[in-house]
Amino acid sequence: MADISIQDLMEAGTHFGHQSKRWDPRMKKYIFGTKNGINIIDLNQTVKLLQTALGFVRELGEKGGTLLFVGTKNQAKKIIAEEAKRCGMPYMTERWLGGTLTNFDTVKKSVARLAELDTMAEDGTFEVLFKKEVVKLEKERTKLERNLGGIKNMGSLPSVIFFVDTIKEKIGLLEAIKLNIPVIAIVDTNCNPEGIGYVIPGNDDALKSIKLITGAVVDELLAGREEFKLKQQALAEEAARAQEAERAEKKAKKDTPPEAAKEPAPGQAPKESKNTKKD
């Protein structure tokens, strides 16, 4: 498991919260104190809760689950996209579209439309259309790619969602809670931690803080996925051996003459015929 220390978090600025006048009282238990009007996050709790969240992510990876990364604020966009791509997981870095989770069937139709437009662009269909129509389709395609490109390979609802800034992602958070999808989130001092299964108290504005925590989550997910692959490989090999043994058994039975099959085992007396008469 990723070994992130209090020193690492301090160097990333994870302990800096918001101005004390902007705090959410429900974050009180995660606040160490106040300095120069700024709430200071208790990094002892952050380390402990981060390790708990990472353990959960590791188990998710071992089960082959899907983790959706969400961060639409400017500070998080690039980091979220890069880290999600690093582990091959879906992500959202543009405005959360209402109903992304609660109306997922409609979203899948939009994703299918994006795939259709991608195919048209690649197979030469655009080349035989009027320029005005192509411009219109390209505009539609660009918009869909911007909003849904990160989740176009997500065929079903995610197993877990990771949020950066639960105030910015309030709509997505409420949808996840409504559908009972587990949530992991970096929660700053101005946020409400209630309803979040795995709270990671920390600075959700500093680039280094977002990078450190998101990177640790991805590292654990990758480690878990590696275990998942090894288990799947072992199961496949076991199934192959079982099939080979079954084929060998069938072949042996097929190649055994009927007379040989009836011969008694060494040391075993031959069975009396039913037609043998007693004196």
For 33-75, the pLDDT digits (tens) are 999 999 999 999 999 999 999 999 999 999 999 999 999 999 9
Type of residue at 187 = V
Per-residue pLDDT 10s for the chain (279 aa) are 678 999 999 999 999 999 999 999 999 999 999 999 999 999 999 999 999 999 999 999 999 999 999 999 999 999 999 999 999 999 999 999 999 999 999 999 999 999 999 999 888 888 888 889 989 999 999 999 999 999 999 999 999 999 999 999 999 999 999 999 999 999 999 999 999 999 999 999 999 999 999 999 999 999 999 988 887 777 777 788 888 878 877 777 777 766 655 556 566 655 555 555 554
Residue pair 64/228 in contact by the 8 Å Cβ criterion: yes
**Distance, CA of 94 to CA of 62 (rounded, Å):** 29
pTM of the full structure: 0.83
Dihedral sign for Cα 72, 73, 74, 79, please: negative
Distance of CA 8 to CAs 40, 74, 204, Å?
16, 23, 15
For 227-253, the pLDDT digits (tens) are 888 877 777 777 888 888 788 777 777
Torsion, Cα of 226, 230, 233, 238 (10° steps): -160
Distance of CA 174 to CAs 66, 178, 208, Å?
19, 6, 27
Q: Tell me the Cα Rg of the chain.
A: 29
Q: What are the extents of the domains in the chain? A: 1-97+157-243, 102-154
1-97+157-243: what fold? Rossmann fold (3.40.50)
**Distance, CA of 217 to CA of 196 (rounded, Å):** 16
The class of domain 102-154 in CATH terms is mainly alpha
- Nearest Cα to Cα of residue 210 among 14, 47, 1: 14
Residue pair 140/146 in contact by the 8 Å Cβ criterion: no
Cβ neighbours, 10 Å, residue 67: 23
Tell me 278's DSSP state: P
